[in-house]
Every structure is written in C-alpha cells, then in structure tokens.
A = this chain, B = another copy of it.
Amino acid sequence: MGTFPPTPRTTVRRLPQRGVYDKAQVYAILDEGFICHVGFAIDGQPYVIPTGYARSGDEIFLHGSAASRMLHTLGDGLDVCVTVTLVDGFVLSRSAFHHSINYRSVVMMGRARVLEDPAEKTAAMRCFTNHILPGRWDEVRSPSDQELRATMVLALPLREVSAKVRQGPPVEDERDLDRAAWAGVVPLHGRLGEPVPMDDLVPGVPPIDRSRFTRF
C-alpha cells in the first residue's frame, strides 16, 4: 500500500519516533474512528469543528447541511486540516511528569472538493451510513432528490497525511522505582450501552444487534 511522503507540514517533529506514514496503518486508524476535527482559518482566526467522516479509497468524505458555512468555505478550496484521534488508555507513572495517554491520531492536510454528481453524492452517503453500521444502508430509505440537494458532501484527497502513535507502558526514572505507587496502563475502550428504541417501531421489528457495530 505504500507510505505517505512526509512534507514539512506533516512531518512529526516532537517525538519523531511516534510518527507513522505507512498507509495501511493510517487507514486502519481512520477506519476505526468516525469523528474528526476539521480546522480552517478565516482572516487568521482558526476554527475547529467536530463532524463525522468516512474513508473511501484515498479520500475521506465530510458532509452536512447545504446551508453549512463551514462546508461552503471548505468547498471553495480553503486549506483544511482534518484530525482524527483515538484514545487507547491512561499511562500512569510513579512520577507526575511521566504520566501520559496512549493514543493514535491522524492529521490530514489539503483542499476539499465538492461532490456535485448525485450518484457520487449518494455513494458517499452510503459510505457514511455503512461506516457507522455495516449493512445499514440497505435497511433504510435512501435519500430523496430533495434530501440529496439539502446535503453537501466534500471529498478530501489523502495526500499530505501523517499519524502519531503512543502505545505501551510509562517511561519510568530509575529513581522512582522504589516508590510504592501503582504504575502501568489502564486501557480505555468505547462500549455500546443498551439501545433505546423509538416507541413507534413497526410491530415485530427485531432489536438492533449491537455486534454489528464492528468497531466496539
């Protein structure tokens, strides 16, 4: 699958040993996540907005209301930085200084394009729906023409991309090893709770099977 060539903007400088440019690893992080933080600047003022995303091949899709200022601004070709972060655990050391967090993050830089073709938009929306819950698209009503028009979809090509990963136990100083405090890693996972059905479901509809949410 290859690697992303690091650029001045995507080279990991702090703790470069945490930098990951391998496409397969980067895409595995993107496919596990589903929320990104979209950054852009207007007259020097930065904005960071959370939103959903889904990957298809070498691009990610963003979407939202056709009335969204952010999507229009980005669709006009403004530079964007999109970041996805997965938190894997708390790293507890015997010193305050060496406490840390295990995480995997991906930073994507570039310019997005607006999807105009209804078939291309529909394919992207299918990708979104099934990214959260595989197979969901085929169970639900597809978007009407009006819904398609009300939805703006952007595609960001994955060209300038890097990941940063911290895993494993804390770093400990020799001098702290005789301190009688617990140290190690406490993993953190996402977990689905009890589904809350609408009270007007068609009689006989089976409960949602949580195991279909494959990332949890």
Contact = CB atoms under 8 A, between A and B. Distances in A.
A75 interface: no
Nearest to A212: B186
A134 interface: no
B205 A180 contact: yes
Given A39-B48, A97-B147, A176-B141, A170 B198 contact: yes
Contact of A48 (B64, B83, B133): B83
Contacts of A87: 35
Given A97-B143, A176-B141, A191-B191, A35 B69 contact: no
Contact of A202 (B52, B125, B179): B179
A160 B204 CA distance: 50
Interface size on A, as a range, is 35 or more
Contacts of A34: 101
Contacts of A150: 97
A60 interface: no
Given A141-B95, A176-B141, A202-B179, A189 B191 contact: yes
A128 to B, nearest CB: 8
Interface of A: 9, 13-14, 34-35, 37-41, 44-50, 52, 64-65, 67-70, 79-83, 85, 87, 89-90, 92-97, 99, 101, 103, 105, 107, 109, 125-126, 128-129, 132-133, 136-137, 139-144, 147, 150-151, 169-170, 172, 175-198, 200-202, 204-208, 210, 213, 216
